[in-house]
Amino acid sequence: AEAKRRGLNNFKTTPEALTVLSEERFVKMFNELGIYTERELHARQEIVFEDYVKKVQIEARIIGYLSSNYVLPAAVQYQNILIDNVRGLREIGLDENAYAAQKNIITKISTHIQAISTTVEAMIEARKIANKEPDMQKRAHLYCNEVKAKFDTIRYHSDKLELIVEDKLWPMPKY
């Protein structure tokens, strides 16, 4: 309420919040206080947008790397153990109900693996597109809305796999 009364918006993202630096009232305020000239303020805004992009870019690379090199291999390894288990139970002649739970877990693992893999690839493509954008403010918005938006999906499915995959196979600390 106080923010609305003072004419400030409720921003949901960093790039949205940074856009106020180019609003006339802020340009005027910084100039009158002798902090920044209009040109300096715009340059500062460009630097902050670039800093934001670099930080999200680093996070995206780390998330992609961890997912592809740790989470997915551990999930596949555990899935293969379960597949061997189902195959063995089937070979000794047990009824399909005897290994239905294992098959269900294999299906869940497959679903999470596919979701992570697809989302990591989509995130990489979104980064490639964003990196081609010459306007740093637009690039920051692309990184926020197209790249960072994929983080939650990857995290959700990784968290689900963490609960399923056997502790000794999981390559990171479990919570």
Q: What is the DSSP letter of 35?
A: S
How far is it, in rounded angstroms, from Cα 69 to Cα 49?
30
Residue 124 contacts residue 64 (beta carbons within 8 Å): yes
pLDDT digits (tens, 9 = 90+) for 103-113: 999 999 999 99
Q: pLDDT category, 9, cuts 50, 70, 90?
A: low
pLDDT digits (tens, 9 = 90+) for 71-100: 999 999 999 999 999 999 999 999 999 999
pLDDT at 1: 47
The beta-strand segments (E) located in 61-154 are none
**157 residue type, one letter:** H
How far is it, in rounded angstroms, from Cα 157 to Cα 116?
6
pLDDT at 46: 94
- Give per-residue burial for 45-54: e unless 16+ CB within 10 Å, then b: bbebbeebbe
Residue 77 falls in which region: left (phi positive, over 0), alpha (psi -120 to 50) or beta: alpha
Q: Is residue 104 classed exposed, middle or buried when 0-12, 13-18 and 19+ CB atoms within 10 A define those classes?
A: exposed
pLDDT at 64: 97
- 10: how many CB neighbours lie within 10 A of its CB? 8
Mean pLDDT within 147-162? 97
Residue 130 contacts residue 139 (beta carbons within 8 Å): yes
